[in-house]
Structure formats: structure tokens, C-alpha cells
Amino acid sequence: MFIKDHGFIILGITCIYCAKCKLIITNQSELESYLVSLFEKINPNIIGNEYFVVGTMDLKEWKKRINNDEKRSLEQEVEFISDFKGLLELNYQPAGWYRNV
């Protein structure tokens, strides 16, 4: 993820994958509350800044990273990231009875 005025960060969050649609789905408000709780501690000035989710990181490489098995530069980390091919905004309507308007 790239955050304006902060730079590149790699988050350890998991998302829903729909194999049928080939979509990785995350809840924007959950993602943003995660970011707020993270940046309250490390850099509160950037809370609310624009951000861009670049892609996903290979789980095996992510685990190596958090276990600190090998020190890697940002350029090396980028090799384990798969870019998203596109971005869709999904909304949902809770189940229930709706009047035709």
C-alpha cells in the first residue's frame, strides 16, 4: 500500500478471495479503521491521507518477513508483490423486502 506523505507499507491483513469471480475483496471501512489504529501510534499526521492499495504479497514471503528470516530492501520486497489488474467498488444491499420505486 502506498500512503500519501508516508510512502510504502506492507500490511498483514487477509482478505476474502472469490475464486469464481477471481476477486480479492476487502471491506474499506475495516481497512481504514485498521490504518487509523496503526497510524495513531506511528504517524497520526497522515491519518485521512489518500492511499493506494498496490497488490498482494505472497503469504510465504510475508511470513519470512515477519519472522525476520531475511533482511530485504523495498526493491526486494516488491518482487513478491502481485499487482492488482483493476479496482472495483462493490456495494451491497442487505437482504429484506424492498418496495419498487
d(CA 13, CA 1): 11
Ramachandran angles phi, psi of 29, nearest 5° = -70, -35
Query: How many residues in the shown chain lie near Zn ion by CB under 5 A?
Result: 3
CA distance 97 to 1: 39
- Select from 10-18, 28-36, 40-48, 88-96 the region that touches Zn ion (CB under 5 A): 10-18
Among 11, 13, 15, 21, interactor with Zn ion by CB under 5 A: 21
- The answer to whether 18 contacts Zn ion (rule: CB under 5 A) is yes
Q: What are the residues binding Zn ion (CB under 5 A)?
A: 18, 20-21
